[in-house]
Amino acid sequence: MADTMIRDLDLLRSPEYRRKLSQCVHCGLCLSACPTYAIFGVETDGPRGRIALMRAAAEGRMNVEDFRRAFAPHIMLCLACRACETACPSGVQYGALVEVARLVVEHNRTPSLGERLLRWIGMQLVLPRLWLLKLLARLLWLYQVSRLQRVVRAFRHWLPKTLRAMEDILPAIVPRYHDYRRPAPALGTPHGRLLFFTGCIQEAFLSQVNQATLRVLQRNGYTVYAPTEQTCCGAPHLHMGDLETARQLARRNIDVFLSQDGQYEAVICNAGGCGTILKEYPHLLADDPAYAKRAQRFAALVKDVSEFLAEHLNVPPRGEVKARATYADSCHLRHGQKVVSQPRKLLKSIPGLQLVELQAPDRCCGSAGVYNIAQVDAANAILDAKMADIAATGADLIVTTNTGCHMQLLAGVRRAGLPAKVMHLVEVLDLSYRIGDGTFATFPVSQREETR
């Protein structure tokens, strides 16, 4: 950080940014929705306090020392879950505000050489290249099946905090991948064609979710195409303050999906966080004359899989899934995309499934992109509160709709010692279809992921 000045404060001083800041009327209704305020009980760890910090910086009422000691830590402790947006009666666009504030923080810090190397490997080298992610997944699969993971977990407290957090969220990997070079054909009466955004972490580490998505869409009469040239959505880069790489990835995805021949009803995404950034490409590329309109065309096509299926469940599931289930909302799906009722509607369509609501369904699980790695202690405190809410339901099935949430909840089940299985919504639908066909017996299926 510079010793005499705060760099790039002009990002906070633009007329548009200050207009968004002025929308906050300091009513405090956002505080009860904020996970970090609930955990720490400190005004500056709530949306209202953070907005006050943003305003102070924008108005020049903050020196470098204030920025270092107050602004940066409290801004970076925010999950950016956007629950405050849903709670706000004034329509404050908090997600846009904190995104810019994070950029300013990143521009005013000097990461260590080790951190820069890890960021380059993870963000620049691996995430945009799915083949490298799959190679990493296969190596980690060997780590799991060789029983080395059990040894490491037995001595996990000796690991550095960040490495321990990464190991905690590692799911049980099944490195069997679908060949997307050919479309997945519609089954039964054809209803149209869809494009599928497979994601990067989802495809490499939770490939069974993507395969279940394909099968459910096929059963409902859709031929599904997944362009092999697609790449990471850019959300991790945006979370880490790398705006330019996020824009590069957005341009690549727009080019790939809009260049597909033929007519498609939608671009389907099954991860709440990825879908949110895909839908917000117009905001990300608003100042790019070559891509602004194309980003709008692309975003108009993007649908979360639950959002699409709630309106196009042409073949309702018939197999009985005898389970007591609770649904853990993806923050970005609920607060960013405003998709709330659709996943619940689909779960209620499954015979035998008893859906029990959480006391605080809008509360974050602590995943929040890379938050559970960057802010380990805060993420664990937030996760513990989430797991206590889940435990109170008595559910033996936890349903999620986002990659990061899925991995975080798997870690939470182990951490809390709960006898529950974590599944993506499409996996539960797929299970019902397979039980109805007689190709699968019944729930519960193997709980290998949670008990390993």
The DSSP code sequence of 173-203 is P------TTS-B---SS--EEEEEE--SHHH
For residue 390, the one-letter residue type is I
The CB-based long-range contact list for 233-238 (8 Å cut-off, 24+ gap) reads 233/197, 233/199, 233/200, 233/273, 233/274, 233/277, 233/278, 234/277, 234/284, 235/273, 235/274, 235/276, 235/277, 235/369, 236/122, 236/123, 236/127, 236/369, 236/370, 237/123, 237/127, 238/99, 238/277, 238/284
CATH fold of 10-107 reads: Fumarate Reductase Iron-sulfur Protein; Chain B, domain 2 (1.10.1060)
What local confidence, expressed as pLDDT, does residue 1 receive?
A: 43
Specify which residues 184 forms β-bridges with: 224
Q: What is the DSSP letter of 45?
A: G
What local confidence, expressed as pLDDT, does residue 110 receive?
A: 84
Specify which residues 399 forms β-bridges with: 327, 423
The side-by-side arrangement of strands in the sheet containing 397-400 is 353-355, 323-327, 397-400, 421-424
CA 14, 16, 18: angle at the middle one, nearest 5?
Answer: 70
Residue 280 CA to residue 283 CA, distance in Å, equals 5
* Tokens of residue 295, six digits: 């980003």
Residue 393 CA to residue 288 CA, distance in Å, equals 48
What local confidence, expressed as pLDDT, does residue 444 receive?
A: 62
CA 396, 308, 288: angle at the middle one, nearest 5?
Answer: 115
Cα torsion 430, 436, 439, 440: sign: positive
Residues of the chain with pLDDT under 50: 1-2, 446-452
Among 335, 449, 351, smallest CA distance to 401 is for 335
What local confidence, expressed as pLDDT, does residue 452 receive?
A: 39
Each domain of the chain, given as residue ranges in start order, spans 10-107, 316-451
In tens, the pLDDT along 270-288 reads 999 999 999 999 999 999 9
What would the CATH number be for the domain defined by 316-451? 3.40.50
For residue 194, the one-letter residue type is L
What local confidence, expressed as pLDDT, does residue 449 receive?
A: 41
Beta strands in 237-391 (DSSP E): 267-269, 302-304, 323-327, 353-355
* Tokens of residue 45, six digits: 């760890």
Cα torsion 408, 414, 417, 420: sign: positive
In tens, the pLDDT along 334-371 reads 999 999 999 999 999 999 999 999 999 999 999 988 89
Beta strands in 147-300 (DSSP E): 192-197, 222-225, 267-269
Q: Is 278 exposed, middle or buried (0-12, 13-18, 19+ CB in 10 A)?
A: buried
What local confidence, expressed as pLDDT, does residue 397 receive?
A: 97
In tens, the pLDDT along 311-334 reads 999 999 999 999 999 999 999 999
For residue 425, the one-letter residue type is L
Residue in this structure with the two tokens 């005898």, named with its chain if needed: 322
Backbone angles phi, psi at 24, to 5 degrees: -70, 125
What local confidence, expressed as pLDDT, does residue 23 receive?
A: 94
3 state SS of 289: coil
What local confidence, expressed as pLDDT, does residue 4 receive?
A: 63
